[in-house]
Amino acid sequence: MGLLLATTAACTTAPVATPSGSSSTSRPATTTAAGGATSAGRVTRLVDGDTLWVSGVKVRLIGVDTPETRRPGTPVQCFGEASSLRMAALLPVGTPVRLGYDRARLDRYGRTLAYVYRVSDGLFVNAELVLEGYAKVLTVPPDTAHQRDFEALQRSAQHDGRGRWSACPLRS
């Protein structure tokens, strides 16, 4: 596949295994956006595929959306459980993470908005979920630093039928 994400700041890249087991895909190992603000902590709780708690702070991943599993009054959406399980596999409770920020720090629900990186290997979790088909792109301005990167990853996942793109009838 050989896809390299462009970033808004200097970064290093690291090859990572794709769902097919190859290691030809690379993505930012570290990056910062919109001024370079970052913080670090440990995963203390997982909510679903795009929301978690880091050191007592509720964090919503920027730029991605996973199917709902816990919205009151609505059924679990197609691939929702799989997305939640993938998040748990990528970031088990206790995992050290680094949070990178874009322009907005909080969403309308008071959650901290962040790009999440696993400290052990620099894995860009937001991008990984899109690449593997567990999440789709959700751009909410002004947080657009990685929009094009995420859109390219989503096109790749759709083209290859990864994750939700082969499992869900509406493929939305």
Please pick, among 68, 98, 118, 132, the residue that the annotation labels catalytic.
Answer: 68
DSSP string, the chain: -------SS--EEEEE--TTS---EEEEEE---TTT-EEEEEEEEE-SSSEEEETTEEEEETTEE---SS-TTSPPPTTHHHHHHHHHHHS-TT-EEEEE--S-SB-TTSPEEEEEEETTT--BHHHHHHHTTS-EE--BTTB-TTHHHHHHHHHHHHHHT-THHHHSTT--
Q: Is 76 exposed, middle or buried (0-12, 13-18, 19+ CB in 10 A)?
A: middle
Is 42 assigned a catalytic role?
no
Please pick, among 27, 111, 162, 164, the residue that the annotation labels catalytic.
Answer: 111
Is 68 assigned a catalytic role?
yes
Note whether 145 and 105 are within 8 A (CB).
no
Token output for 172: 């939305």
Is 111 assigned a catalytic role?
yes
Task: List residues with catalytic annotation.
Answer: 60, 68, 111
